[in-house]
Amino acid sequence: MKSKFNIYYLLIIGLLFIASSLKAAEQPTTESASEEGDVKELILGHIADSYEWHIFSSGDIHLTIPLPVILYSKSKGWEVFMSNRFHQNDGSYNGYYIADNGKYKDKIVVKDNNGNESRPLDLSFTKNAASLFIASILLIIIVMIVARSYKQDPMNPKKGFVGMMEILIVSINNDIIKPTIGEGSDKYAPYLLTLFFFIFTNNLLGLIPIFPGGANVTGNIAITLVLALVTFFVVTFSGTKEYFKDIFWPDVPTWLKVPIPLMPAIELVSVFTKPFTLMIRLFANIMAGHSIVLGLTCVIFVTVSLGTAINATMTGVAVVFVVFMDFVELLVAYIQAYVFTILTALYIGMARIKPHHTKHIEESVVED
């Protein structure tokens, strides 16, 4: 019975992923980019942020959720309205419109007195911002469910969803945070656990093609930049005197420090390259995964003009590869959250190094 259940479970997951691939392709086929066969524009348009949340399209019917647009310009002051106003007013509202091309493509612009396009201060609540709020609310609900379960019955072992969460939390805390940071790791555990589950949740939501999923949050470099900056500030403010001494006056031969501060310059650069690599690694891996899945899905529509036999064959191949890539992306969703967390913990641990003379004293005491 158990093996049959597992087979049925895998079949259901496979069917869901096939539906996901077809659903992901449904919106692009109705847009001008796919009609022109421009796969590049199609993929870039899908992974980009937007001022509305597209649900589905059926013929001339397009179901979207409008999102708040918040703008400020010196000439017009503050403007707050819903994004569907652009569709109700021939693509513009109070002089604002979304640029179709140029350096401000897909961004809200306004023309000045000379007829030149310029960008207002744009604080709009976009699709990625909405997805961030959804993921945050979902995380709060999950934490409250787990906390309530432990509050009601703290002694008995947990099963089901709460038990799975316990395994993840204990694994991250005992296998990453404590061994990497060492003494005083408890005060960093809330941040690192939040970081892991925030990235993991957004990665998983990005794989779901229907609302409230489908947003390319962790594949947006602005999001990964903020996460990397937070890590940078946490590491910097956690640094000990010995940590900063090793940056500006490392324990190397003097000729490597004066008259040309070669080693201090290298150490200082490494302070900024660490968060930079965190930002690029998460952004590139998630965006690449979304792009590959969309590219494979586009094969179905690119081969339509090649005949029924070729199109049917390539459709089958594309669906198989899309399902395979979706399973790979499930693994990548966890790995990228894990890697970001473990590197952050490692950088914090490196910043909390003790003075060398204290280490020597402690080692001599242990030997005695």
Nearest to 325 by CA among 21, 41, 25, 23: 21
Amino acid at 228: A
Compare 68 and 113 and report the one with higher pLDDT.
68
Statement: residue 299 has pLDDT above 90: no
d(CA 57, CA 26): 7
pLDDT for res 201? 93
Q: At what angle do helices 160-172 and 127-152 cross, to 10 degrees?
A: 100
Give residue for tokens 């992923």: 17
Give residue for tokens 């493509």: 105
Tell me if 212 sits within 8 A of 129, measured CB to CB. no
Count, in order, helices (H) and strands (E) of the chain.
Answer: 13, 9
The mean pLDDT value of the chain amounts to 80
Partner residues linked to 109 by β-bridges: 97
Statement: residue 52 has pLDDT above 60: yes
**Local structure of residue 95 (DSSP, 8 states):** T
d(CA 293, CA 282): 17
Q: What's the pLDDT tens digit per position in 163-173?
A: 888 889 999 99
**Local structure of residue 187 (DSSP, 8 states):** G
Q: What's the pLDDT tens digit per position in 142-171?
A: 989 888 888 887 777 778 888 888 889 999
Element (H, E) at 93: strand 92-93
pLDDT for res 331? 92
The upper half-sphere exposure of residue 113, i.e. CA atoms within 13 Å in the direction of its Cβ, equals 3
pLDDT for res 225? 93
d(CA 131, CA 136): 8
In this predicted structure, which of 18-32, 34-48, 150-164, 351-365 has the lowest mean pLDDT? 18-32
Partner residues linked to 108 by β-bridges: 98
Nearest to 85 by CA among 69, 101, 61: 69
Compare 227 and 306 and report the one with higher pLDDT.
227
Candidate ranges 69-78, 252-261, 269-278; pick with highest mean pLDDT: 269-278
Peptide bond into 190 cis (omega under 30): no
d(CA 166, CA 307): 53
